[in-house]
Amino acid sequence: MKVKDMSPKTKAARKKTQAKYNKGKTATKKRTADGKARKKLGLKKGDTRDASRKSGGFVKESRSTNRARGGKMGDRKRKAAGGRNSSRKGVPNR
């Protein structure tokens, strides 16, 4: 369910839960590590590339390629060849 489709009560509950998660130790450590990795790769604010987690480290990668992959829990069905974020536009499915 998308946030815009939620009731105000559900949105408030989600916001409260997310705020609790965001200030936890694991989340702050992850943000710190991500920021350091971006700095090490030379990615500045406004850069169109992401610091992507690959093979045990971070690499520079275009946002569209990184986010089209969907991460660890990505929904592959929505990211089929020719989709909005796909890098395989015009390539037929096998």
37-73 pLDDT, tens digit each: 999 999 998 988 988 888 888 999 898 888 877 655 5
Strands of the chain (E only): list them. Answer: 49-54, 57-62
Amino acid letter, 76: R
> Torsions phi, psi of 82, nearest 5?
90, 0
> DSSP 3-state assignment of 11?
helix
The answer to whether the predicted template modeling score (pTM) of the entire model surpasses 0.75 is: no
Strands of 31-72 (E only): list them. Answer: 49-54, 57-62
